[in-house]
Structure 1
Amino acid sequence: MTPPAQIFLPTHGGQLRQIAARYGLEPKQLIDFSANINPAGPPASVFITLQQALADPAVLVAYPDLELTELKKALAEASEILPENTAVANGFVPLLEAALRSLKIARCLLPVPSFSEYRQTLTNAGVEVARYYLAQEEGFSYQPETLLRAALEDDCDALLLANPQNPSGALCEAGIMRDLIEMAAKHRIKVLLDEAFIDYVPTQSLTRSAIESENLVVFRSVTKFFAIPGLRVAYAVSSASSIRNLNNRLAPWPISSLASEAVSAALEDSAYAEETRRENHLRRTWLEREMARLKIFTYSSSTNFLLLRFAAHVDVHLLWEKMTAEEQIVLRSCANFEGLAPVHLRTAVRSEAENERLVHGLERVLARMNR
C-alpha cells in the first residue's frame, strides 16, 4: 500500500473512522493505541443494566431526572462526598466552561504541554491564557512554588492543572498538590484540577478536599476508566456554594437516562476497578521495559498511557504514518500538544497481546526507517 503523500495527523485520539478512510482500511483493521480507554471493555454490570433499561419503554419515553438524583448519589458515594457537592455534564468541557463563568476567571496560568482542549476552552470562554513551560528534564512534573510564582508574576486568578498530568502521565502526590492549593488560596487564586485519570491512583485524589476548599474545583471522568466514553459523563466537585453557581450555568438534562443508569452500575463494580488497576500496572511496567530495550525513552506514568520520546534523528510523523499504514497500529500524535518537542508520540496501555504487537511493530518500522 502506498500511503498518501501528505502525512495526516489527527488532532485527537480515537479517530479510527477518519484514519481508516484516509489509508483505505476498515476501522476494525486498526488497533487503537491513541485513545486511553480501558482495554477490558465495560463492566458486565453495564450491559446488564442497559439491557434491563431498554426492556422498559418508560426509560426512553420519559424525560431524564432533571436533578440527576440517582446518578449524583452514586457519584457521591464512590467519591465519599455529598450529592450537593457534585455537578454533572456530558463531558469535561461543559463543566470547565461553567466553572470559568461561575468563578469569573479572567486570566489563567496553563502549564504546557497540556491537553489541547484546555486552551481551546479557555479561549472560547474569553479567558486570557498565560503559558508556563514545564521542564522536560523533570518529566513535566509540577513544582508548586514555581507554578505559584509564575501565576503571580502573570497576574493570573486561576491555575488549570491535570493530575496525573496529560500527556506525560506524571503524578503530583496529593500532599504536594494540597500545599499548592493552600498557597494559591492565600493569594485568592482558583485551582481548576482535572483528575481524568486519577482512578488509576485513587488514594492521590483531591476530590474530598475540594468540598472544603472554596478555591478548588476538581473534575472527574468515569468513562475512560470504565471503557464507556460513548456515554459522555463527567462530574465536578467543589464546595456546595461553588457547585450551586456552577450548576446554574449548565444546560438542563445534560445526561441521558441510559447513561445515568449505566454509570451508576459501573461505579458499584469494585472488583472491576481493582482488577483494572492491577492489570494496568503489570502491563505498563512490561511496556516500559520493552521500550527501553528499543531505546525509546518513557516518562514516569501513573496512568494507562506512556509518553514516548524518540531519538532526534527519528521522524516521528513518518513513524506514526508507517505504524498506521504498514502495521495497522494507531499511536497518538503529539503534534497538537502545545509546548511538546516534536520527538514524541503517546501510546495507550492495552491488552498483553496488543502490547506485544505494538512492540514488534515499532521494532520492525524503526528497523526499516534506519536502513
Structure 2
Amino acid sequence: MSDPLLHHGGNLAAARARYGDGPWLDLSTGINPMPWPVPADLDIDLGPLPDPSLLADLEAAAAAHFGVAPEHVCGLPGSEMGLRLLGPLLGGRACHHVPGYRTHGAAFPDSVPLAADTPVPGDAALLLANPNNPCGTLRDRAPLEGMLEERTAAGGWLVVDEAFADAHPEASIAPLVDDTRRLIVFRSFGKFFGLAGLRLGFVLAPRPILARYRALLGDWPIDASALAIGTRAYRDLAWIDAARTSLADRAAAFDRLLDAHGLRPEGKSPLFRLVSHPNAAALFEQLARAHILVRPFDYAPHWLRFGVPSDAASLYRVDRALRHG
C-alpha cells in the first residue's frame, strides 16, 4: 500500500492521523496562501441552471488574462479533468517530460516518459509543464516556440500545462494558440488565485479540439459559484498585479531563510521551492513533528517541495522547526 503523503500534497488528514492534531502549517502544495478575496456582494444564485452567457463571460475574462482570443478558450471543472480527457480525445502516441505531474503520464495510454530536452520520437504529442512541477524550472517562450515548430513539422502536438504560469505572463505560450498551430495549453485558476477548492481550469486549443471537449463536457460544465468568482477574479487587474509582486517578495524572503539553514532552494515559481537534501526523509519527519507539512516524493527520496509561506509568522514557524525540530 502506497504512502498517501508521498502521492500528492495537501493531505492534511493523513498527516494528522500520523503526527497528531493541532494547528498545522500546510506547505505541501503550490497554492497561493493569500487567496483572492471573494467579495461579500458577489450575488450567486444556486437555484437555476447556469445561463450559457455566464460561461461565455468567464471564458472572455480568462482569455483576456491569458492573451488569447475567447474562441480558443474552454472552461473546465479543473485542469486535471481536461488533462485526463486529452488522450482519448486527441489519440495517437505521446511522450511526457519527467519529473513532472503524475497526471501527465496518465493522460495518454502508454505515454513514454522523457527527460527534458530529449528528442521526441516521430509524430508523438509532447506534454510538459511550464513552469515545471515539482522542480520549478521555467522555460522562456522562445524555446517553446522552437519545440512547437518541431512538433508541427513531425505531425505531432505540443501540449503545455501552464498551471503555475500566472506569475510568469512573459513566458506563457498561450497567446500563440490559434487554429493554424498544433498547440494545446492548459491553465489552472485555483493555484495563483488561491482557491483550488473551486475546481476551475481551462483548455486553450484550436476550435476543432475545443468542439470535442465541449461535446464531452455537456451543457453545464462549470457551476454557478465558479462562474461568478472566476469572472470577477480574472477582471481584478489590481489584485493580479499586486499578487505577482507580493508572491515574488515572499519567495525571496523564504529563499533567504532556506539559505540560512544550508538548504539551496531551486525553481523560479514564487508559489513553491524544491530542496535537495541527503536526509530529506529525516527533515520531513522533523518538520512534521512540528506540524509543518511539506511534500516528499517516492521517486526522488532526496527531494522536498516547500510551498512559500504566507507571512512572517509562518516563516518564523519554519525557521524554529528547522533549528530545533
TM-score clears 0.5: yes
**1:266 maps to which residue?**
233
| Number of matched pairs | 322
- CA gap 1:182/1:60 in 2 versus in 1, 3 angstroms: same
Question: 1:174-226: CA deviations, max 9, x gaps?
Answer: 11111111111100111111000111111211111012553110000111111
Q: Which sections of structure 1, spanning at least 5 residues, go unmatched?
A: 1-5, 54-58, 135-142, 366-371
**1:329 maps to which residue?**
292
Structure 1 CA distance for aligned equivalents of residues 34 and 71 of structure 2: 32
**1:113 maps to which residue?**
99
Q: Does structure 1 residue 203 correspond to structure 2 residue 170? A: yes
Displacement after TM superposition at 1:251 (Å)? 4.0
Please show how residues 172-251 of structure 1 align to structure 2 within 5 Å: 172-251=139-218
**2:322 maps to which residue?**
362
Structure 2 CA distance for aligned equivalents of residues 84 and 250 of structure 1: 16
Q: Match of 2:20, as an amino acid? A: G
Q: Which has the larger radius of gyration?
A: 1
Question: 1:267-319: CA deviations, max 9, x gaps?
Answer: 11111111111111122122222222222122232331001111x2x1x2232
Which consecutive aligned stretches of 4+ in structure 1 deviate over 4 angstroms post-superposition? none
Question: 1:94-148: CA deviations, max 9, x gaps?
Answer: 212333223213x2111111111222333xxxx21211134xxxxxxxx3xxx3x
Q: Match of 1:60, as an amino acid? A: L
Match of 2:220 among 225, 240, 253: 253
Question: 1:18-75: CA deviations, max 9, x gaps?
Answer: 321332304xx10010112212222243x431xx22xxxxx22211235722222222
Q: Match of 1:342, as an amino acid? A: P
Where 2:111 maps in the other structure, the secondary structure is strand
Q: Which sections of structure 2, spanning at least 5 residues, go unmatched?
A: none
- CA gap 1:359/1:286 in 2 versus in 1, 3 angstroms: same
Q: Match of 1:72, as an amino acid? A: E
Moved more, 250-259 or 62-71: 62-71
- Is the 1:43–1:269 Cα contact (8 Å) retained in structure 2? no
Structure 2 CA distance for aligned equivalents of residues 179 and 7 of structure 1: 39
**1:133 maps to which residue?**
115
Moved more, 185-194 or 155-164: 155-164
Where 2:208 maps in the other structure, the secondary structure is helix
Q: Does structure 1 residue 11 correspond to structure 2 residue 4? A: no
- Is the 2:286–2:322 Cα contact (8 Å) retained in structure 1? no
Structure 1 CA distance for aligned equivalents of residues 145 and 220 of structure 2: 33
- CA gap 1:190/1:37 in 2 versus in 1, 3 angstroms: same
Q: Does structure 1 residue 33 correspond to structure 2 residue 15? A: no
Structure 2 CA distance for aligned equivalents of residues 23 and 156 of structure 1: 48
Where 2:190 maps in the other structure, the secondary structure is coil
- Is the 1:94–1:250 Cα contact (8 Å) retained in structure 2? no
Displacement after TM superposition at 1:245 (Å)? 2.4
| TM-score (norm: length of structure 1) | 0.81
Question: 1:223-275: CA deviations, max 9, x gaps?
Answer: 11111111100001112222212322324422101111011111111111111
Structure 1 CA distance for aligned equivalents of residues 149 and 286 of structure 2: 48
Match of 1:80 among 50, 62, 67: 67
| TM-score (norm: length of structure 2) | 0.92
Percent pairwise identity: 27
Q: Match of 1:324, as an amino acid? A: A
Q: Match of 1:102, as an amino acid? A: L
Structure 1 CA distance for aligned equivalents of residues 3 and 89 of structure 2: 41
CA RMSD of aligned residues (A): 2.1
- Is the 2:28–2:293 Cα contact (8 Å) retained in structure 1? yes
Match of 1:349 among 303, 308, 321: 308
**1:69 maps to which residue?**
56
Structure 1 CA distance for aligned equivalents of residues 3 and 59 of structure 2: 44
Structure 2 CA distance for aligned equivalents of residues 303 and 273 of structure 1: 14
**1:138 maps to which residue?**
none
